[in-house]
């Protein structure tokens, strides 16, 4: 997969894509991340990429010409590239969108700055607009890295065999069950006995029950979107009643 990142701050994204799992995926050529400096497409002695807003007001706006030229170059080389503007006004990024993007051969992430990009770029030169959350950041570089990370780890071969995607939060429609590692007793806090039992069936059941309980407690909205099987409903009811009994001191 190719991911282009169009930015006026290339060094903001250069470091993170060389580290850890993403860095290894780049080295192993499972993903090709290309950082494109929008300023290289600006003209004039100062290669200016922003200007004052028509109508007045505070802040600057990213000029359309350098963006159009940079996006044009990407499209010329690959008309199939999906050009995505990062914007707090876009559709809200989630695991489903990460999965959707991971199935594409080429995405191009356009990072805004200042008050954002000239509206004509949004209207005529991008295919999609994505927000990473209901808050405003100073630029699209961190959102672009969030998307790169979430998408890259879904690509075949990027995660090692030990890092299974199948049970992760959101992939199953539930939050994932809790994890423990050595030592068995840490500051008087014991690992749940069941995880030390070696009984794989019982461990699977416990994990499913914990995932259901966690989701019920923390993200009931996810449960509403999910049709639980009868077995899941029974597991959840048992977990809730055990928890309530414990709370009541029984």
For residue 144, count CB atoms less than 10 angstroms from its CB and return exposed for 0-12, middle for 13-18, buried for 19 or more: buried
CB 143 within 8 A of CB 6: no
Phi/psi of residue 90, nearest 5 degrees: -85, 180
Residue nearest to ligand SAM (CB): 112
Structure-token match 């100073």, residue found: 138
Range in contact with ligand SAM (rule: CB under 6 A) among 72-80, 82-90, 167-175, 196-204: 82-90
Report if residue 66 touches ligand SAM, rule: CB under 6 A.
no
Residue of 25, 37, 34 whose CA lies nearest to 77: 34
Question: Closest approach of Cβ 216 to ligand SAM, in Å?
Answer: 29
Residue 31 or 62: the one with the smaller Cβ distance to ligand SAM is 62
Residue 22 or 144: the one with the smaller Cβ distance to ligand SAM is 144
Q: Where are the alpha helices (DSSP H) in the chain?
A: 10-14, 20-27, 64-77, 95-102, 119-124, 141-152, 200-218, 220-225, 230-247
Residues 108-147, interacting with ligand SAM (CB under 6 A): 111-113, 115-117, 131-133, 135-140, 143
Question: Closest approach of Cβ 25 to ligand SAM, in Å?
Answer: 23
Instruction: List contacts with ligand SAM (CB under 6 A).
Output: 86-89, 111-113, 115-117, 131-133, 135-140, 143
């Amino acid at each position: 997969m190719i991911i282009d990142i169009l930015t006026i701050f290339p060094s903001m994204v250069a470091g993170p894509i060389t580290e850890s799992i993403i860095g290894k995926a780049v080295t192993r050529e499972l993903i090709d991340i290309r950082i494109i400096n929008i300023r290289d497409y600006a003209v004039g002695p100062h290669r200016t990429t922003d200007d004052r807003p028509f109508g007045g007001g505070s802040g600057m706006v990213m000029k359309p010409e350098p963006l159009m030229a940079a996006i044009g170059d990407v499209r010329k080389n690959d008309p199939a590239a999906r050009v995505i503007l990062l914007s707090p006004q876009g559709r809200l990024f989630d695991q489903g969108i990460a999965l959707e993007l991971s199935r594409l051969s080429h995405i191009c992430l356009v990072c805004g700055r200042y008050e954002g990009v000239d509206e004509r770029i949004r209207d005529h030169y991008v295919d999609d607009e994505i927000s990473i959350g209901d808050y405003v950041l100073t630029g699209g570089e961190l959102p672009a890295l969030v998307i790169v990370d979430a998408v890259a780890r879904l690509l075949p071969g990027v995660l090692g065999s030990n890092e299974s995607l199948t049970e992760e939060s959101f992939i199953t429609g539930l939050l994932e069950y809790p994890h423990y590692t050595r030592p068995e007793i840490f500051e008087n806090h014991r690992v749940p006995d069941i995880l030390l039992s070696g009984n794989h069936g019982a461990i699977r059941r416990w994990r499913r029950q914990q995932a259901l309980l966690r989701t019920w407690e923390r993200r009931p909205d996810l449960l509403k979107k999910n049709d639980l099987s009868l077995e899941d409903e029974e597991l959840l009811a048992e977990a809730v009643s055990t928890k309530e009994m414990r709370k009541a001191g029984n």
